[in-house]
Amino acid sequence: MADFTLYLKYKGGSRDSLEKAVTLLKAYLPKVVEKNANFSGSNAVLVDDGTTPTLAETDVIVYVVRNISKSVISAKGGSVALAEANENVLGLTDISKKISEVYFDRLYEGSPKELSGAAFHEAAHIKSNMDNSMHTGQDGFLKASPDYNGSPTDDNNKFLAKHLDRKVTMNGSY
């Protein structure tokens, strides 16, 4: 049995907010892992820019960038048009490029709560390999316009747990 790790890679924003978001994710993820017998534990880890973590095939990395102009997705040839068109979009995932990111400047006053929720949301996109169709029938953190002022719902945890085994090759060096 393995552990599931969600990495937040610091590329911009308040380091303090990222550290607090990691603490919140450490509280959220055990409830996901307990719903998937193939995992024995979970972790959330903050990674500094310039550092490349060793990712297991089931781990996820979410880049936290200062703003959309610093987008990793865009830098790697992907489209961020959805986020450019809607300032309420806190993060994006490019399924084909296997890149997830959150825009720090769009968080309310650098809210660690919003950051942890957005990271959870983007991780669910990567693990499920679903674009915005993932939002259909979802509540809490996984709906189209999520409210991150709480914790992931039991249905959110079940959804992520269902896809936790999916192997993903993500790049932690961007």
- pLDDT value of residue 20: 98
Integer Cα distance of 108 and 140 in angstroms: 18
Instruction: Check: CB of residue 92 under 8 Å from CB of residue 75.
Output: no
Integer Cα distance of 164 and 146 in angstroms: 21
- pLDDT value of residue 147: 85
- How large is the average pLDDT for residues 120-144? 97
Fold of the domain spanning 2-163: Collagenase (Catalytic Domain) (3.40.390)
Percent of the chain with pLDDT over 70: 100
* Residue 1 banded pLDDT, cuts 50, 70, 90: confident
The residue ranges of every structural domain in the chain are 2-163
Instruction: Check: CB of residue 159 under 8 Å from CB of residue 138.
Output: yes
Integer Cα distance of 52 and 136 in angstroms: 34
Instruction: Check: CB of residue 94 under 8 Å from CB of residue 42.
Output: no
Write out pLDDT tens, residues 135-152.
999 999 999 999 898 899
Instruction: Check: CB of residue 122 under 8 Å from CB of residue 94.
Output: no
pTM for this entry: 0.97
For β-strands 2-10 and 60-65, DSSP reports them as: parallel
